[in-house]
Amino acid sequence: MATIIVQPSGAEIFISPDDTVLAGLQKAGYACTVGCRRGGCGICKVDVLEGSFTYNRRVADSVITATERADGTCLSCRAVPDEDLTIQMRDASLRLVNPLLGQLNAKARERARAASTAPEEQ
């Protein structure tokens, strides 16, 4: 499990293993600009400021160029975080459209944090 911090708002989103960045945002109740959701259009690009990710399927060079791969550009519909990520949205389109999902996500994040800081049982 990983956490995604979304700039410029600073929203903190808890993401399940194997979920893409986009899926994590949507499961946490957020809506943002998307297109094909299959790695073909490039509309879902965000900038990764910290952390690393792996694409769950091959992404064509026509969608993410070599320069973009090197500068932290991330195709959010295909990227699965390897660790905690800080991302920058390219527009102001991220909106919390389902506050209940946002609350459930925040509680899951708190539980995971508590579990990771709890002393180990012997």
Helix (H) or strand (E) holding 24: helix 21-27
Binding ligand FES (rule: CB under 6 A), the pick from 32, 74, 75, 85 is: 75
Dist CA 42 CA 27 (whole Å): 21
Q: Is 101 in the site for ligand FES (CB under 6 A)?
A: no
- 30-69 mask for ligand FES (x: CB under 6 A)? ----xxxx-xxxxxx-------------------------
Q: How many angstroms from the chain centroid is the CA of residue 110?
A: 18
Give, in order, the Cα–Cα distances in Å from 12 to each of 20, 59, 69, 71, 122: 15, 26, 24, 23, 32
Q: Is 96 in the site for ligand FES (CB under 6 A)?
A: no
Q: Taking the complex as a whole, how short is the minimal distance between the CB of residue 120 and ligand FES, in angstroms?
A: 40
Q: Is 87 in the site for ligand FES (CB under 6 A)?
A: no
First and final CA of the chain: distance in angstroms?
24
Q: Taking the complex as a whole, how short is the minimal distance between the CB of residue 41 and ligand FES, in angstroms?
A: 3
Rule CB under 6 A: which residues touch ligand FES?
34-37, 39-44, 75, 77
